[in-house]
A and B are shown apart, each in its own frame.
Chain A
Amino acid sequence: MAQFRIIHGFPRLPTKHIMTEQRKAVALISGGLDSLLAAKVIQEQGIHVEGINFYTGFCVEGHTHAIRKKDQKKPKRNNALWVAEQLGIKLHIVDIVEEYKDIVFNPKHGYGANLNPCLDCKIFMVSKALEWIRKKDFDFIITGEVIGQRPMSQRKETMPVVSGESGAGDLLLRPLCAKNLPETRPESEGWVDRERLYDFSGRSRKPQMALAEKFGFKDYAQPAGGCCFLTDAQYSGKLADLWRARGSKQYEMDDIMLLKVGRHLRPAPHFKVIIAREEGEANFLQGYRKQFITIKTISHGGPLALIDGEPTAADIELAARLVARYSQGRDADLVELEVMDREGTSRALKVEPLKPHEIPQEWHI
């Protein structure tokens, strides 16, 4: 039987004619289509919805487009903000960079195909949303999860794992596949009508696209390999290399930013060279001059490079020869470069650029 929480001292009667409290839900908004639709479905039932978006540091959304010059002409749209604007809801963006490290280092449920801890990530985000609704006096949580949509985190077996281990329990409602799952509290209490929820399942996007059309949503973000860099094989390879080189699973924000930028080559276990691929990346790397030894070509046009690690004088010369290889002087006999240490002291160095066959494939990370 439906129950109603009564305000303003009305008698406790289970009738729809009395004033009932406005129910409030927070929707996890990634910026993708599923979370947009899930929030809209619940809004349509008269629930007050606000959005929450978690920033882990690995979000594809956002900053990389600010780095590469070739990408700067593309429209810069934060899809989570765009979704919130389409829905006319508030969006709360939460920085979880520090707390998220534990998830990346030690995922209880393991990694996916790369270093993506998708199931632990979802559990963590729902648990953070639960903390948020308790603090803000909201009633329940919405996600855009669909059974079978993702091979690791969105399966029939993982749905109760997310709701259980996050602590959200039956306060977690997945409007797009709710009819395939046990009734949640928002449904049993009559806050939302289960009949007006959906039974989507599987990897097909057609039901979501049809629903988007029904709601009149156009220009929504197209799925392109997920919203997290950790699902990217190349990025995960660089992160694994970083951990190997340091002998432990650690990272700081600057580390994970730098993994997104430039060519990374590791000639020896104790140092690697990050070489800008274009002007935008060079400008970005300039900001790290006080934290790394930098190398810049003088005699020819060429990239800026950072050396990460503790190189010897011979290592620096090797790095300079490598950087020269990626400069316009690659075919010259000698290329002059400027090497600057972390204190800002610079010196010139003339080197012979490495030949292609002198750069083993395994140096490329």
Chain B
Amino acid sequence: MSRVTLDARRLLCPMPVIRVQDRIETLTPGTILEAICTDPGVMNDIPAWCRINGHKVIETRSDRTEYIVVIEVGEEE
């Protein structure tokens, strides 16, 4: 299973969501994408986007300066 990282630091929502969306379009199902962000809004927005678009959030974590969302890319419909 491949794993890729996306640097979305210093971007404010919805830009991190757009970056995640655009990156996922290039990835194959099952790939793990780790998005590193600094806007706390991503903790709600990226999981919401994943739920409606068929991707799975497998981990969220934060050290108060960075907010990391780990996503498993879903199957294409």
Which A residues contact B (CB, under 8 angstroms)?
53, 55, 59, 61-63, 65-67, 72, 75-78, 80-82, 84-85, 88-95, 257, 287
- Complex Cα spacing A63 to B15, Å: 9
Sample 9 A-B pairs with CB under 8 A, ordered by A number. Answer: A63-B41, A72-B40, A77-B44, A85-B51, A90-B52, A95-B15, A95-B18, A257-B12, A287-B10
Least CB separation from A92: chain B residue: B21
- Complex Cα spacing A75 to B14, Å: 15
**Given A65-B41, A66-B41, residue A93 in contact with residue B14 (CB < 8 A):** yes
* Interface assignment of B62: CB less than 8 Å from any CB of chain A: no
- Among the interface residues A75, A78, A287, which one has the most CB atoms of the partner chain B within 10 A? A78
- Complex Cα spacing A82 to B17, Å: 14
- Complex Cα spacing A151 to B1, Å: 54
- Chain A residues lying within 8 Å of B21, measured Cβ to Cβ, are 92-93
**Given A72-B40, A76-B41, residue A81 in contact with residue B52 (CB < 8 A):** yes
Chain B 1-35 residues near chain A, CB threshold 8 A? 10, 12-15, 17-18, 21
- Chain A residues lying within 8 Å of B10, measured Cβ to Cβ, are 287
B18, B44, B51, B53: the one within 8 Å of A55 (CB): B18
B13, B40, B51, B54: the one within 8 Å of A78 (CB): B13
- Complex Cα spacing A62 to B54, Å: 22
Measured between C-beta atoms, what is the minimum distance from A320 to chain B in Å?
27
Least CB separation from A97: chain B residue: B15
In the complex the two chains form, is A78's CB within 8 Å of B48's CB?
yes
In the complex the two chains form, is A78's CB within 8 Å of B52's CB?
no
1/0 per residue B39-56: CB within 8 Å of A? 111011100110111100
Measured between C-beta atoms, what is the minimum distance from B73 to chain A in Å?
14
- Complex Cα spacing A132 to B20, Å: 19
Give 19 new A-B contacts, CB below 8 A, not counting A78-B17, A85-B51.
A55-B15, A63-B15, A66-B39, A66-B41, A76-B13, A76-B40, A76-B43, A76-B44, A77-B44, A78-B14, A78-B41, A78-B44, A81-B17, A81-B45, A89-B52, A91-B52, A93-B17, A95-B15, A257-B12
In the complex the two chains form, is A82's CB within 8 Å of B41's CB?
no
- Complex Cα spacing A94 to B15, Å: 9
In the complex the two chains form, is A85's CB within 8 Å of B41's CB?
no
- Complex Cα spacing A287 to B53, Å: 32
- Chain B residues lying within 8 Å of A61, measured Cβ to Cβ, are 14
Report the 4 A-B pairs with minimum CB-CB distance, sorted nearest first: A63-B12, A81-B48, A62-B13, A66-B39
- Chain A residues lying within 8 Å of B18, measured Cβ to Cβ, are 55, 93-95
Measured between C-beta atoms, what is the minimum distance from A143 to chain B in Å?
20
In the complex the two chains form, is B49's CB within 8 Å of A81's CB?
yes
Measured between C-beta atoms, what is the minimum distance from A287 to chain B in Å?
6
- Complex Cα spacing A65 to B14, Å: 12
- Chain B residues lying within 8 Å of A89, measured Cβ to Cβ, are 52
Least CB separation from A90: chain B residue: B53
Measured between C-beta atoms, what is the minimum distance from B57 to chain A in Å?
13
B14, B43, B48, B52: the one within 8 Å of A62 (CB): B14
Least CB separation from A77: chain B residue: B44
- Among the interface residues A72, A77, A81, which one has the most CB atoms of the partner chain B within 10 A? A81
In the complex the two chains form, is B48's CB within 8 Å of A63's CB?
no
Measured between C-beta atoms, what is the minimum distance from A37 to chain B in Å?
18
Measured between C-beta atoms, what is the minimum distance from A2 to chain B in Å?
28
- Complex Cα spacing A81 to B48, Å: 6
- Complex Cα spacing A53 to B43, Å: 20
In the complex the two chains form, is A66's CB within 8 Å of B14's CB?
no
In the complex the two chains form, is B52's CB within 8 Å of A66's CB?
no
In the complex the two chains form, is B12's CB within 8 Å of A66's CB?
yes
Least CB separation from A287: chain B residue: B10
Measured between C-beta atoms, what is the minimum distance from B72 to chain A in Å?
17
- Chain B residues lying within 8 Å of A77, measured Cβ to Cβ, are 44
- Chain A residues lying within 8 Å of B54, measured Cβ to Cβ, are 90
Measured between C-beta atoms, what is the minimum distance from A253 to chain B in Å?
9
In the complex the two chains form, is A62's CB within 8 Å of B12's CB?
yes
Measured between C-beta atoms, what is the minimum distance from A66 to chain B in Å?
5
